[in-house]
Chains A and B, each alone.
Chain A
Amino acid sequence: MRAPLFLLLGCIGLYASEALGGVVEKQPLNMEAISMFLTFVVATLGITYWAAKRTRNTKDFYTAGGGITGFQNGMAIAGDYMSAASFLGISALVYTKGYDGLIYSIGFLVGWPIILFLIAEPLRNLGKYTFADVASYRLKQLPIRTLAAFGSIATVILYLIAQMVGAGKLIQLLFGLEYEVAVILVGVLMVLYVTFGGMLATTWVQIIKAFLLLSGATFMAIAVMAQYNFNFETLFAKAIEIKGSKIMAPGALISDPVSALSLGIALMFGTAGLPHILMRFFTVRDAKEARKSVFYATGFIGYFYILTFIIGFGAIVMVYGNPLYLDMAKQAIDGGSPILGGDNMAAIHLSHAVGGDWFLGFISAVAFATILAVVSGLTLAGASAISHDIYTSVICDGHSDGKKEMKVSKIATIVLGALAIYLGITFEDQNIAFMVGLAFAIAASANFPILFLSMFWSRLTTRGALIGGILGLSTAIFLVILGPTVWVDVLGNVDPVFPYKYPALFSVSMAFVSIWFFSITDKSERAVREHDAFEAQFIRSQTGIGAEGANEH
């Protein structure tokens, strides 16, 4: 069994899967970690209770009443983004490949400035609860809402499966719990947070976790640097002694220009098309707070990636070859210096090396908390696509009262939770490394082009958005299936039909070109009306006049 581990947890599954692997062995019960994790669960359930009393209507449920500040939202966005995969996966990638880990993490950061410069403010000014609000603002509700909701739900479910499988394996490793128990625990807690506490509880769980993760990672990086008198030259020199000078330069991650561009496009535009990230922009009061959120989020995420780079090098000098963390059984078979639990455990072992059992327990608990927070955000985004977009806007044609819509979203949350548990258990031993890559490809090729063009291109029509969105979506899915990650790794064929791992360059181009073509050739009466409606939409997107929750005095 080739069990792809923690990378599955978050954003980076597909792209760095070569760095991860190893079979999970259940570990003895880790009491320090469990007690710290229980503290986190009790505290967050307390927050959920507090939030539940403040969650009365749909606005509270979807957007925490729109009262989150820019700083808080920036922290929560960073929390959504810094999954256990980013933390364990990127530090593992630095640990095994050195510089390639840094290249990889940079790709995840650079989408944020673009989101700020072009998307964040108009998105806040036009939307209410979901990004489909914006995409369908002047287009025909039924087809565009359905397509956007489908894009959201597909992204959320693919992400959720990856998170659940990763969560089960991580918890099995860190806490010594059974896989099924771990998956059910995560599923139940996330349903509790979301159904009772809505966006308010989800946001605060995310903020607390982001704070814990940043503090823990900061401590680790400082502890590593302190050993080398805060001199990078000596740290790197020692690491080169162990792993050779290749770790200081680009390796095999980016080998040809097409893959390079395609990966870059997937990461950039995919980030700007993730429903749980876009939803966060509606939790702040106005465009100004939305703008500030991205500034803080970019700072936190960039800082975090610099820390993971130091942590990866710290693991090279303090964990690699250390008999304490050596997997002797595996060494006897494969040779080399494999570490217990696989390369993804590099950061976890480093936490023990610099801080002993208690700090190991702390970092393990933070890793678990991270998963919980990320799946909660995903579930809320999925539930709102079902209740707000499908139920209220498509099925009821916009005529639903808030109470009913809330009820539907709570039922949707429970169904998504049950589905996540079921799929998490079903996919335990499957190779699912492609799933997060597929989620990013769908977000970049279907969600993002429609959202972006609906805000900036007056000629966009329902026909163009619908046909182009479907073509972008299907191109992304087909190219992932025919590419190396599914065709070869999952289906066992020798050569891929489509040679590149990352389809985004082709599927995103397909979406933009076909949206353009089917819009300009649309001569219907409806297309004329949609064009005429652009100006009013643009005024609102630019000034915020008429925006949801804006102060009109």
Chain B
Amino acid sequence: MMKQEIFDRIKNDPNYALLVQKRSRFGWQLSFIMLFIYFGFVLLIAFNPTFLAQPLCPKSVVTVGIPLGLGVIISAFVLTGIYVWRANREFDELTQKIKTNAKEVA
């Protein structure tokens, strides 16, 4: 269990509030984007499959569904990349600051 002093110190550290606020907002935003993309895709299949079945270009055999489907896969990877990129910089830096501040008391 955490020592009360350290606990209070972190609780009152503005960096902690900033970290929690920034990270949860970012995490939820990206989650909603992913849910929107995926369930949008799934509901498109359920409600309007003919949209996905139409050819991409007039003479092509490739249907609209192929790039859209692959796009969902790629978007999942890109979104994780965006999160990791920002977290490695901004969030880890804030966490480090919080840790340093907390240690000064101990």
Question: Which A residues fall within an 8 A CB radius of B?
Answer: 99, 102-103, 105-107, 109-110, 112-114, 116-118, 121, 232-233, 236-237, 240, 245, 248-250, 254-257, 259-261, 263-264, 268, 288, 291-292, 294-295, 298-299, 302, 305-306, 535-536, 538-540, 542-546, 553
Contacts and interface: CB of A to CB of B under 8 A. Distances in A.
B66 A254 contact: no
Nearest to A251: B49
B2 A288 contact: no
Residue of B6, B20, B61, B99 with most chain A CB atoms under a 10 A cut-off = B61
Contact of B73 (A268, A306, A544): A306
Nearest to A99: B65
Interface in B24-74: 26-28, 30-31, 34-35, 37-39, 41-43, 45-47, 49-50, 52-53, 60-63, 65-66, 69-70, 72-74
A106 B65 CA distance: 13
B52 A113 contact: no
Contact of A99 (B7, B28, B30, B69): B69
A114 B98 contact: no
Interface in B1-24: 1-2, 6-7, 10-11, 16, 19-20, 23
Given A248-B62, A295-B81, A305 B52 contact: no
Contacts of A535: 11
Q: Decide if the interface of chain A is mainly helix, strand, loop or mixed.
A: helix
B30 to A, nearest CB: 5
A295 B10 contact: no
Contacts of A292: 84
Contact of A542 (B16, B37, B88): B16
A306 B10 contact: no
B67 to A, nearest CB: 10
Given A248-B65, A305-B73, A542-B16, A112 B38 contact: no
Q: Decide if the interface of chain B is mainly helix, strand, loop or mixed.
A: helix
Given A249-B49, A249-B52, A545-B6, A260 B42 contact: yes
A177 B49 CA distance: 44
Interface residues of B, number: 56
A238 to B, nearest CB: 9
B7 A261 contact: no
Contact of B83 (A117, A245, A540): A117
Contact of A248 (B39, B47, B63): B63
A538 B5 CA distance: 16
A466 to B, nearest CB: 24
Contact of B31 (A106, A117, A545, A546): A117
27 contacts: A99-B52, A99-B66, A99-B69, A103-B69, A106-B69, A110-B37, A113-B30, A116-B80, A117-B26, A232-B66, A248-B61, A249-B65, A250-B53, A254-B45, A254-B46, A256-B46, A260-B45, A261-B43, A264-B39, A306-B73, A536-B7, A542-B16, A542-B20, A544-B95, A545-B10, A545-B102, A553-B103
Listed from nearest, the 5 A-B pairs whose CB atoms lie closest are A249-B53, A117-B27, A250-B49, A260-B46, A110-B38
A109 B74 CA distance: 10
Contact of B39 (A102, A261, A298, A299): A261
